Structure 1
């Protein structure tokens, strides 16, 4: 398998620390969310994952749309990703996710097909498939 891109990010101090990419573009302070007993006020790993998943999934959808002859303008496709933390039966922490996808200019069946096809090529979807429950809703407007 040919590596198309990789990056390195260093974390220091865990959920109450910092993260910094090797090129310095990403340089953030982290905080434990208030809902998990922290002080909040800074980003957290779940927000970062949600942002990455939403952006990656939308790009995958735009790609499969182009391949099937659909062209969307900025704002025609919206992906909202929600990442949550819960505990499983063994009391271990687990992630769960949802994607809410809105597509303008196509019918419901086409929107659902585009989401299925995007899910098949999105690196985030492929990375978590079988490990993280992902609920998907699709709305064509």
Structure 2
């Protein structure tokens, strides 16, 4: 699976892949304002390609350090946009204490109450497995509601 979209600076980078209805973003290094702005623009394009279908997000950030305060504001914008556009599940591979704290803040501001610890996985395959299950469960729930 080749990266669908990518961008890098001297301080960090991101790349997006899409596998079915799972968006996988690999984030490395520090996330500056420019990276975050491009990230939001890229994610917006990807989200629109789902045309309202449910999807899930996997943040593969094992090599991510942290985001600047300006970048964090853009990441919050991306997070709320995702929720508003039918993102039904999220998972993260993240080890940076600062990155985890920033993600907790973003999720809290977005009104999510599920503990972040339940969304963090030690590997991409484990996270993908969980997201795949949740997408199936969401589809089954939707079918039951329609029937």
Normalised TM-score (structure 2): 0.27
Pick 1 or 2: higher relative contact order, CA cutoff 8 A, min separation 6: 2
Structure number with higher helix proportion: 2
Q: Which protein has the larger Cα radius of gyration, Structure 1 or Structure 2?
A: 1
